[in-house]
């Protein structure tokens, strides 16, 4: 008999298993095992006829939720029930946040254990933390469970009530959400500001001065004691100087006249000001600040950041990564200060331990900031991590250690220099003591390099000095529109407004992009035409639901439910069924919403209508011959749609394509067109005998107006045959595809090997030698799981190839060539050696290289070790045993969390409709 411990994920289970006695059995629930129905087929027959069944919440019976066990979780539930039969005690060890508490409660409801139950919580997965947690178990916190359940019901009510309205009035498959719609509105509002922005221009002078052979810059700030206008003096809505500002706006002519007037005139230092500045380190990371900084420094999206952080947590490298607390435990403070003392010296240690408190209301997700796990912090180099895992851990380590370091002391120097009646200013910065900047500079990867960049050294100057003017020039400037949101700045905005919870930001941003409300281009979130239409409808008819203040107050109420300060049922009744409740509003507003108006997007300076159709956005305009409709390319955003592009698209529709010229060899016309996927060139006309003329997309970033006949002719030669591969004799080509330019090694039936062409290489000029060099490089698999090994064991004694332990879907495994061998369930990773790996691999190879007996029977004529045969035989691939790591990636195994996300209803009925709703 044993103690059964249940956690959420297999990785977490494997790590915890190493820290518990052999009498403990650790199993994974694979996340939630019960939820509201996501499709019609999941609704029990007993209630299918009820009008509330599709909603999944019985609003007439005190908002009773309808919980079901999804099909892909039934096997897991059965396994957990079987494991419980042999247990004398049950420990629920899910995360200590609302979701984790809810998972434990649902497990309790499903398993109905007859043995003693404990709730174990911890914030890091280390031997010390797990052993300590075992001695401090508690009961499930029902108030937290109730708060999570209320939040889940609330999200379902919003999503499943508003989404069908959007389907009717705008387009099928759209979704609304309590936090999602607010975030989309923020993006749209910023884009509206950018469209309404009016550019202003101004000129000033920039000089290079020299004193004691040290050069420094000076910028014009006054003329005749009147401030010279800069970008901050302009009104964004008019492009003119803001009313009431007393500034001098210089145009180019005036700037050049001033330049001529001060040429060869003496410069004199009029004033010097030195101001000491002390900077304190930032607190350690919370969920949102980690997402922001990882986006700025590592260019990671919020979802990717949380995926990597989750992996680091579950493997015992960092503490729990869903937290809005900046608090550090005494253990963590001691560990951080020890790192500072050892690595930087006592002078870099803050005089007293720094203790941070969370300013935001309701910091309840966990009780400590994100930090390296343990009572002593492993340096990044000591972890054995590499790649992006290493870089994110390095970020967390530096931020935590820096939080206990001394202040940075700087001196800011301002020098005012006069020449004639023109005043110039020079700014300098001297770092007197770097303090915490020696370890961590926010927004910079390399603290040492950042220190050098931050310092701006001016020569020793005093009032009355006359520096030499080495150069002075007139410089023109144009004001810039408000910056679009990045993932980092959107997360920061949502948190500052109190909208949503940091733990949900990653999934919210992911949903916005996945649902087509925004495109992520060059790290900026750019809203689409659909986002404009949906936001306008919600602003007009349901303004509270997209108001940040209203949503923030909802968030506060949910926090109050968690602490017992508010009652959940009266709140839900008022929100949904009250006189001004959501259900009432939707019934009243539905008849007032004109679908044609709702599908129309009004953009400033665009005379044609922009409409949302079944297949995307399109233009609608009237001319002498009647109504004209033209599709808008999918990659064209509202920000890029200007009158010129509108005219081109409509003209292309009515008058046909624009002729660029004639092909020098065939004499056929060459056209430049814009299609659904952007601009392209076409050779010849579409006719009965030439239904599919030769076409080629323009390289990314190429403007259609810059295309020449020569460029078009070159593009129309694609794919280019570069030559033959020296090893196979097969052809090597260069071409343009959906993901950009590439080279391909085409071996016919054997298969094709692709590599992307990156700048400075060019698809039109790349050579065979360069293509072969690219093809020889390891292939990056799109969307594949990280291949970072959990442990490196050493070289194989025969092949010399490295043998590593990897993290697979069904647990750790070792790999050599084409053979994968899973580690035993109770095998400790710490004690796993190269010899054990060789024994496992030999046993697997002797058993048939990993194929099951069924697979071997069905593929008797297939050589198990032949890579070529595996490529040729589709049947062999489809019958590979379920234990194979490759097959595990390609099947929808019941244990797979990914499969749970991808399951869709097979019938185009209400089930399909239900699955498209997002809460």
Task: List residues with catalytic annotation.
Answer: 320
CA–CA separation, 18 and 229 (whole Å): 66
Judge contact between 28 and 9, C-beta under 8 A. Answer: yes
Which residues, in sequence order, are CB contacts of 592 under 8 Å at separation 6+? 541
**Residue 524 forms beta bridges with which residues?**
486, 521
Distances (CA, A) of 282 to 441, 442, 443: 10, 8, 12
CA dihedral 511, 513, 516, 518 (to 10 degrees): 130
Task: Give SS3 for 761.
Answer: coil
CA–CA separation, 509 and 512 (whole Å): 5
What b/e readout covers 761-773, taking b as 16+ CB neighbours within 10 angstroms?
Answer: bebeebebeebbe
**Residue 819 forms beta bridges with which residues?**
816
Which among 801, 505, 519, 468 has a CA at the least distance from the CA of 637?
519
**Angle of helix 98-111 relative to helix 142-169, nearest 10 degrees?**
100
The DSSP string of 304-353 is HHHHHHHHHHHTTSBB-S--------HHHHHHHHHHHHHHT-GGGB-SS-
Judge contact between 763 and 718, C-beta under 8 A. Answer: yes
Token pair for 11: 């990785």
CA–CA separation, 289 and 118 (whole Å): 33
Judge contact between 191 and 639, C-beta under 8 A. Answer: yes
CA–CA separation, 408 and 278 (whole Å): 6
CA–CA separation, 555 and 553 (whole Å): 5
CA–CA separation, 139 and 108 (whole Å): 11
CA–CA separation, 292 and 787 (whole Å): 25
Which among 196, 198, 187, 190 has a CA at the least distance from the CA of 480?
198
The DSSP string of 374-414 is SSSPPPGGGS---HHHHHHHHHHHHHHHHTTBPPEEEEEEE
Residue position matching structure tokens 């706006």: 249
The DSSP string of 457-502 is PPP---TT---EEEEEEEEEEE--PPPPPBHHHHHHHHHHHT-S-H
Alpha carbons within 13 angstroms on the beta-carbon side of residue 620 total 14
Tell me, rounded to whole angstroms, the distance of Cα 597 from its chain centroid: 33
CB atoms within 10 A of CB 833: 11
Task: Give SS3 for 526.
Answer: strand
CB atoms within 10 A of CB 278: 12
What b/e readout covers 309-338, taking b as 16+ CB neighbours within 10 angstroms?
Answer: bbbbbbbbbbbbbbbbbbbbbebbbebbbb
What value does the CA radius of gyration of the chain take, rounded to a whole number of Å? 32
**Per-residue DSSP letter, 172:** T
Pairing state between β 678-683 and 694-697: antiparallel
Judge contact between 92 and 107, C-beta under 8 A. Answer: yes
**Could you tell me how many residues make up the chain?**
919
Q: φ, ψ for residue 151 (rounded to 5)?
A: -60, -45
């Amino acid at each position: 008999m044993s103690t059964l411990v249940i956690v959420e994920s297999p990785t977490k289970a494997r790590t915890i298993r190493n820290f518990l006695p052999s009498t403990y059995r650790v199993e994974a629930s694979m996340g939630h095992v019960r939820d509201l129905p996501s499709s019609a087929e999941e609704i029990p027959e007993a209630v299918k006829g009820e009008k509330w069944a599709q909603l999944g919440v019985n609003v007439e019976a005190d908002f009773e939720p309808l919980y079901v066990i999804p099909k892909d979780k039934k096997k897991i539930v059965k396994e957990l029930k079987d494991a419980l039969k042999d247990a004398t005690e049950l420990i629920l060890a899910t995360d200590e946040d609302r979701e984790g508490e809810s998972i434990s409660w649902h497990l309790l409801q499903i398993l109905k254990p007859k043995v003693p139950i404990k709730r174990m919580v911890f914030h890091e997965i280390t031997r010390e933390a797990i052993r300590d947690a075992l001695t401090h178990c508690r009961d499930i916190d029902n108030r937290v469970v109730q708060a999570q359940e209320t939040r889940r019901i609330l999200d379902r009510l919003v999503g499943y009530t508003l989404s069908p309205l959007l389907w009717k009035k705008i387009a099928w498959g759209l979704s609304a959400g309590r936090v999602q719609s607010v975030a989309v509105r923020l993006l749209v509002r910023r884009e509206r500001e950018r469209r309404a922005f009016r550019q202003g221009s101004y000129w000033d002078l920039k000089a290079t001065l020299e004193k004691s052979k040290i050069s420094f810059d000076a910028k014009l700030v006054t003329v005749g004691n009147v401030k010279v206008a800069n970008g901050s003096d302009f009104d964004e809505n008019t492009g003119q100087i803001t009313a009431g500002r007393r500034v001098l706006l210089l145009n180019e002519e005036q700037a050049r006249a001033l330049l001529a007037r001060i040429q060869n005139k003496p410069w004199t230092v009029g004033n010097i000001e030195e101001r000491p500045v002390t900077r304190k380190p930032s607190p350690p990371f919370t969920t949102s600040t980690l997402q922001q900084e990882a986006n700025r420094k590592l260019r990671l999206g919020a979802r990717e950041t949380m995926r990597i952080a989750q992996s680091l947590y579950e493997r015992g490298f960092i503490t729990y990564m869903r937290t809005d607390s900046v608090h550090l435990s005494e253990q963590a403070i001691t560990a951080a200060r020890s790192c500072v003392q050892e690595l930087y010296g006592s002078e870099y240690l803050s005089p007293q331990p720094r203790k941070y408190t969370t300013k935001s209301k309701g910091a309840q997700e966990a009780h400590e900031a994100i930090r390296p796990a343990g009572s002593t912090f492993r340096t990044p180099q000591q972890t054995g991590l590499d790649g992006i895992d290493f870089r994110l851990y390095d970020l967390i380590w530096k931020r935590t250690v820096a939080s206990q370091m001394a202040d940075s002391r700087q001196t800011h120097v301002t020098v005012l220099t006069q020449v004639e009646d023109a005043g110039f200013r020079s700014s300098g910065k001297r770092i007197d003591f770097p303090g915490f900047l020696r370890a961590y500079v926010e927004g910079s990867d390399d603290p040492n390099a950042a220190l050098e960049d931050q310092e701006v050294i001016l020569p020793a100057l005093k009032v009355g000095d006359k520096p030499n003017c080495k150069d002075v020039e007139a410089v023109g400037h144009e004001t810039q529109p408000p910056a679009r949101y990045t993932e980092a700045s959107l997360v920061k905005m949502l948190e500052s407004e109190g909208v949503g919870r940091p733990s949900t930001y990653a999934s919210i941003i992911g949903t916005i992009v996945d649902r087509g409300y925004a495109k992520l281009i060059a790290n900026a979130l750019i809203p689409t035409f659909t986002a404009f239409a949906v936001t306008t409808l919600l602003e007009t008819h349901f303004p509270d639901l997209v108001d940040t203040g209203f949503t923030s107050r909802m968030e506060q109420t949910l926090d109050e439910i968690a602490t017992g300060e508010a009652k959940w049922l009266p709140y839900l009744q008022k929100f949904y069924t009250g006189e001004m409740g959501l259900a009432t509003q939707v019934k009243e507003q539905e008849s007032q919403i004109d679908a044609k108006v709702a599908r129309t997007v009004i953009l400033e300076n665009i005379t044609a209508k922009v409409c949302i159709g079944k297949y995307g956005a399109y233009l609608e305009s009237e001319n002498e011959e009647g109504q004209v409709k033209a599709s808008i390319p999918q990659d064209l955003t509202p920000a890029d749609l200007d009158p010129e592009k509108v005219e081109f698209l409509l003209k292309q529709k009515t008058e046909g394509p624009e002729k660029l010229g004639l092909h020098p060899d065939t004499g056929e016309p060459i056209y430049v067109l814009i299609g659904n996927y952007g601009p392209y060139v076409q050779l010849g006309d579409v006719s009965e005998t030439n239904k599919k003329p030769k076409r080629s997309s323009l390289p990314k970033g190429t403007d259609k107006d810059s295309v020449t006949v020569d460029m078009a002719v070159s593009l129309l030669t694609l794919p280019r045959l570069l030559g033959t591969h020296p090893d196979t004799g097969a052809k090597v080509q260069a071409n343009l595809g959906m993901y950009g330019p590439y080279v391909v090694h085409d071996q016919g039936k054997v298969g094709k090997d692709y590599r992307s062409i990156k700048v400075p290489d060019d698809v039109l000029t790349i050579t065979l030698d360069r293509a072969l060099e690219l093809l020889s490089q390891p292939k990056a698999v799109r969307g594949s799981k990280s291949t970072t090994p959990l442990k490196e064991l050493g070289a194989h004694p025969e092949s010399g190839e490295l043998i590593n332990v990897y993290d697979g879907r069904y647990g750790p495994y070792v790999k050599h060539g084409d053979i994968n061998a899973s580690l035993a369930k109770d095998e400790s990773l710490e004690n796993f050696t190269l010899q054990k790996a060789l024994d496992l691999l030999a046993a697997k190879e002797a058993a048939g290289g990993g194929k099951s007996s069924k697979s071997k029977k069905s593929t008797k004529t297939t050589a198990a070790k032949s890579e070529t045969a595996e490529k040729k035989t589709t049947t062999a691939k489809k019958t590979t045993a379920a234990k194979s790591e490759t097959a595990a990636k390609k099947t929808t195994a019941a244990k797979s969390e990914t499969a749970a996300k991808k399951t869709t209803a097979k019938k185009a009925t209400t089930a399909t409709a239900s699955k498209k709703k997002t809460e």
